[in-house]
Amino acid sequence: MMTQLASETPTARGARSGESLRIERVTKRFKQGDTWVEALREISLTIQQGEFLAVMGASGSGKSTLLHVLAGLTWPDEGHISIDGTDLSRLNDSQLTSFRRRRIGLVFQAFNLIPTLSAADNITLPLMVEGRRLPSAELENLARRLGIENRMHHRPDALSGGEQQRVAIARALVTDPALVLADEPTGSLDSVSGQNICRLLRELHEQEKRTIVVVTHEPTVAMWAERIVVLRDGRVLTEFATRDFSDAHSLAAHYQDIVQAQDDEVAR
């Protein structure tokens, strides 16, 4: 999509030809009262170009922090993150903001739409802040792909949760990013709407070869990915391929076994 934009972001397309996203020994600490909490502890992870990865883990295991450092929303205290060969630590604040806007699409559990704007204006906002505009035919295309073409003039409060998340995904895609990061994207949705959002993310991966990283604690969501990385206490506990599981039930059972075994070890 968007020939006009593609020419403005020459690296975005080339980036889909095999380069990857690399996290090297990243540590992130937060101050909580008088103590420091290590949300990420020397975590290393490589994500292949065009891969669909799910990050699982209990609440507080560092999933959101990982997504935030990947998106350049927060700086790691130690370690390096590179996206398509760009070391984020080499960018200054404004370069990082520009990089993020053009190269990364972000999707959150709470949709984060602007309530006073129509769906159409929410979607095109990332371009408007950069003084760019989207030809209406391309907006229509994008809306149709996401099944929200009849919702474009509605404000968020007139939309269902599933529709709001589709608008948020359209907004994430409007800059044609190679990388889409989603933090519990189905966490506020009923299971049918949630599965539809998962199907959509899977299509973005399969048909458009985008790299997708989804944070979730739900096996029924993680099952849509190719690979699952499990975090625990800011570290990678284990990882496995979803193709080794016949369905979300067997995946959930395996996940429970891993977590239980770890709990037993800690208790011992």
- Provide, rounded to whole angstroms, the least separation between the CB of residue 115 and ligand ADP: 24
- Provide, rounded to whole angstroms, the least separation between the CB of residue 188 and Mg ion: 13
Question: Which CB atom, from 64 or from 165, has the smaller least distance to Mg ion?
Answer: 64
| CA gap 1, 196 in Å, rounded | 22
Residue listed under structure tokens 């966490």: 187
Are the C-beta atoms of 55 and 63 separated by less than 8 Å?
A: yes
Question: Which CB atom, from 69 or from 200, has the smaller least distance to ligand ADP?
Answer: 69
Angle between helices 136-145 and 119-128 (to 10 degrees): 120
| CA gap 162, 187 in Å, rounded | 11
Binding partner selected for residue 59 from ligand ADP, Mg ion, none, CB under the kind-specific 5 to 8 Å limit: ligand ADP
- Provide, rounded to whole angstroms, the least separation between the CB of residue 35 and ligand ADP: 10
- Provide, rounded to whole angstroms, the least separation between the CB of residue 197 and Mg ion: 17
Query: Within 10 A of 261 (CB to CB), how many other CB atoms are there?
Result: 12
Question: Which CB atom, from 64 or from 122, has the smaller least distance to ligand ADP?
Answer: 64
Of the listed pieces 14-22, 61-69, 76-84, 127-135, which binds Mg ion according to CB under 5 A? 61-69
Q: Which residues make Cβ contacts (< 8 Å) with residue 210, sequence separation at least 6?
A: 16, 50, 105, 177, 178, 179, 180, 204
| CA gap 69, 62 in Å, rounded | 11
| CA gap 106, 68 in Å, rounded | 10
Q: Which residues make Cβ contacts (< 8 Å) with residue 163, sequence separation at least 6?
A: 119, 148, 151
- Provide, rounded to whole angstroms, the least separation between the CB of residue 65 and ligand ADP: 3
Of the listed pieces 57-65, 120-128, 134-142, 153-161, which binds Mg ion according to CB under 5 A? 57-65
Question: Which CB atom, from 126 or from 185, has the smaller least distance to ligand ADP?
Answer: 185
Binding partner selected for residue 1 from ligand ADP, Mg ion, none, CB under the kind-specific 5 to 8 Å limit: none
Using CA atoms, how far residue 44 sits from 80, 175, 203, 213, 222, in Å, is 9, 28, 27, 15, 20
- Provide, rounded to whole angstroms, the least separation between the CB of residue 220 and ligand ADP: 18
Binding partner selected for residue 30 from ligand ADP, Mg ion, none, CB under the kind-specific 5 to 8 Å limit: ligand ADP
Binding partner selected for residue 186 from Mg ion, ligand ADP, none, CB under the kind-specific 5 to 8 Å limit: none
Residue numbers at the binding site for ligand ADP (CB under 6 A): 30, 32, 37, 39, 57, 59-65
Question: Which CB atom, from 61 or from 193, has the smaller least distance to ligand ADP?
Answer: 61
Task: Tell me the number of residues near Mg ion by CB under 5 A.
Answer: 1
**Contact pattern for Mg ion over residues 63 through 92, marking x by CB under 5 A:** -x----------------------------
| CA gap 264, 183 in Å, rounded | 29
- Provide, rounded to whole angstroms, the least separation between the CB of residue 142 and Mg ion: 28
Specify the 3-state DSSP secondary structure of 6.
helix
Q: What is the DSSP letter of 99?
A: H
CA atoms within 13 A on the CB side of 221: 27
List residues binding Mg ion (CB under 5 A). Answer: 64
